[in-house]
Structure 1
Amino acid sequence: MPQEQQNDDQQGFCGRGEHPETMTEDVCVLIPTLDEATTIGDVIDGFRSEGYETILVIDGGSTDGTQSIAREHGADVLEQRGDGKGQAVSEALNRIETEYVLLVDGDGTYRPGDAEKMLEPLREGRAEHVIGNRFADMTPGAMSRLNRFGNRLINRTFAAVHHRDLTDVLSGYRAFTADSVRQLDLSANGFGIETELAVECVRQGIDIEVVPITYEPRPDGSETNLNPIRDGAVIFLTLYRLAKLNNPMLYYGSIGLTSGTVGVVLGLYVGYRWFFEGISHEVLALLSAFTILLGVQILMFGILSDMIVTLHREQRRRIERIAEDDE
């Protein structure tokens, strides 16, 4: 391991800033990067010009000099031990000691000038997690039609599955309290981290606020690491996988109905062949009965899980009301 990296590991990151008299010393700007040499310097300078001195760049092993540029512009740099944006964010959060965290991509598409707007709901106690809504002020050319369609579809799916419309769950501009993020069970490795943050906040009952921000095109010469088809599929799978924690009826119900439907279709085929052609399919008949019974059992499990989740939510609300009354 390079000496620079060893020193970084020993000293830790994002403790108290150098200027305690400012209003930004309780904020750590967290920037996950991978080959962002074209933009990372300007991003760091932008936040420093806004008064944010505590900046941590966690890098996924860039080969274009991103780490060196980040250090030259005054940021702390940590090279992640694993792979993927989700793993990078989770690893970095374990190092951060400030009260607030401002999470932003290093591609130059977000404005540092929106940072205070993002932090305001946290400072005023209105929320513990803030999402920047890119669709409120999207500069022409900032997002392709395919990406815009995919984002809209994912947002609507999220709202249907988790009964909460957060407008832009895939936004890479977030602000949250360090205490709230420690309550979350984060396991996504790649671009599913934004979806997982939103799902976990809803599941844990963490107050969320959505604020309008400006979203700009990537600067010329800067290439995206996002593959719309591949990463879109990963995000959908993450959204579906996490539904079992917040909406188990949908998750297990869909599996149960699929299994039951397969069983019914097989049963109809076996019946048709028996009654009209005189050909028996004992194995298919057994498989049909098995899949129908399996589907019913999974569906019942979904109903029971949904009841447990509902009771858990009610119990949590009662505890919160009791705590509020005590205060």
Structure 2
Amino acid sequence: MDDIAVLIPCYNESKTIEKVITDFKNALPDAVIYVYDNNSSDGTDEIARKAGAVVRYEHMQGKGNVIRRMFREIDARCYIMTDGDDTYPAEYAPSMVKKVLERNVDMVVGDRLSSTYFTENKRPFHNFGNSLVRGSINVLFKNDIKDIMTGYRAFSYEFVKTFPVLSKGFEIETEMSIHAVDKNMFIENEIIEYRDRPDGSVSKLNTYSDGFKVLMTIAKLYRTYKPLGFFGIVSLVLAALSVGFFIPIFVDYARTGVVEKIPTLIACGFTMIAALQSVFSGLILHTMLQKNRQDFEKYLNEVNDKKREKLSK
């Protein structure tokens, strides 16, 4: 088991990968640096190998797929995840590692949004999207993570080995944040300086399609992790529709003694039944979620036992 592992997922980062590896070697001389190449066509893997990194491959396209492979294959007491585009300064890594190893933090979030991100990033919709995602998750999940979508993080062994990676692409950071909050893991923010990509380095993010995927991921994860809240909202909407269409029918009936819109009345009844079913679905799933959290705590103890065994060898 490594003490510190630096994880760098890469797709066509030949312009910057050598500098990133060199910077992290200088900042964390005892760390093992892993570069996972995701079907690059510009020689990123060869440059990384010559720079002294351990190079491995993930052929399923997408950052989420790369992170899944990394988390499965690498054992370490502390993990640093960064990008290969030289936007995250390596000098913050020792402080992030210290929080994991000495304070038992499960996830350290490299917080760009509290420092230079909005001035360095030249894409205004990215700025708006980051603020929207941060605000949405902090309200829906009641947490204080300062930067939800940052790719610069430090993790404990326990987080890495218990995190179920479901996302295939750039939604992975959002999924990490929500998982840590839901499982009551120890989270801290580390304010970092962000710098925009150097000339010649091109972002792989699509502002609109990837932004839509992130928002859909938030909705799906809210349904999964907060079923009572999600289905409660659905129930309120259905109940409001039912009552809204029923009131004119009732007013007409009170005035004339005749129900003229029988089909609408039947639809209102079925809509109210659906609203009640939604409430009870949320209650059942909420109970199942509580049981899942209890099981997770037991699983976390098993992972701790495995960690101690590996450290003792």
User: Into which bin does the TM-score normalised by the smaller protein fall?
Assistant: 0.7 to 0.9
Q: How far 1:141 sits from its partner (Å)?
A: 2.5
Out of 26, 32, 51, the residue aligned to residue 49 of structure 1 is: 26
Per-residue CA distance 1:191-232 (angstroms, 9 max, x = gap): 111111111111111111111111111111111111122111
Say whether the 8 Å CA contact 1:203–1:245 is kept in structure 2.
Answer: no
Structure 1 position 167 matched with structure 2 position 146: yes
Structure 1 position 298 matched with structure 2 position 278: yes
Percent sequence identity over matched residues? Answer: 28
Deviates more, 1:120-129 or 1:261-270: 261-270
Structure 1 position 204 matched with structure 2 position 170: no
Match of 1:7 in 2: none
Q: How far 1:60 sits from its partner (Å)?
A: 1.8
Say whether the 8 Å CA contact 2:183–2:293 is kept in structure 1.
Answer: no
Cα distance between partner residues in 2 of 1:165 and 1:291: 37
Q: Residues 288 and 97 of structure 1: is their aligned pair in 2 closer, same or farther, counting only changes over 3 Å?
A: same
Q: What letter matches 2:109 in structure 1? A: I
Q: What SS is found at the alignment partner of 1:137?
A: coil
Q: Which residues in structure 2 correspond to 1:102-113 (within 5 Å)?
A: 102-113=80-91
Q: How far 1:245 sits from its partner (Å)?
A: 3.8
Q: How far 1:165 sits from its partner (Å)?
A: 1.3
Structure 1 position 259 matched with structure 2 position 238: yes
Q: Residues 143 and 280 of structure 1: is their aligned pair in 2 closer, same or farther, counting only changes over 3 Å?
A: farther
Q: Which residues in structure 2 correspond to 1:123-142 (within 5 Å)?
A: 123-138=101-116, 140-142=119-121
Q: What letter matches 2:65 in structure 1? A: Q
Q: Residues 74 and 297 of structure 1: is their aligned pair in 2 closer, same or farther, counting only changes over 3 Å?
A: same
Cα distance between partner residues in 1 of 2:60 and 2:251: 54
Per-residue CA distance 1:51-94 (angstroms, 9 max, x = gap): 15511111221112212221121112222132211121011111
Say whether the 8 Å CA contact 1:158–1:165 is kept in structure 2.
Answer: no
Structure 2 unmatched ranges of 5 or more: 301-313
Per-residue CA distance 1:13-60 (angstroms, 9 max, x = gap): xx54xxxxxxxxx11110111111111111111112221551111122
Match of 1:243 in 2: 222
Q: What letter matches 1:302 in structure 2? A: G
Q: Which residues in structure 2 correspond to 1:1-327 (within 5 Å)?
A: 15-16=1-2, 26-50=3-27, 51-138=29-116, 140-264=119-243, 267=246, 285-306=265-286
Say whether the 8 Å CA contact 1:100–1:176 is kept in structure 2.
Answer: yes
Cα distance between partner residues in 1 of 2:162 and 2:154: 15
Q: Residues 250 and 53 of structure 1: is their aligned pair in 2 closer, same or farther, counting only changes over 3 Å?
A: same
Cα distance between partner residues in 2 of 1:93 and 1:165: 25
Q: Residues 246 and 272 of structure 1: is their aligned pair in 2 closer, same or farther, counting only changes over 3 Å?
A: same
Say whether the 8 Å CA contact 1:29–1:102 is kept in structure 2.
Answer: yes
Q: Residues 202 and 53 of structure 1: is their aligned pair in 2 closer, same or farther, counting only changes over 3 Å?
A: closer
Q: What letter matches 1:104 in structure 2? A: T
Cα distance between partner residues in 2 of 1:227 and 1:214: 23
Q: What letter matches 2:40 in structure 1? A: S
Q: Residues 283 and 110 of structure 1: is their aligned pair in 2 closer, same or farther, counting only changes over 3 Å?
A: same
Higher helix share: 2
Q: Residues 62 and 263 of structure 1: is their aligned pair in 2 closer, same or farther, counting only changes over 3 Å?
A: farther
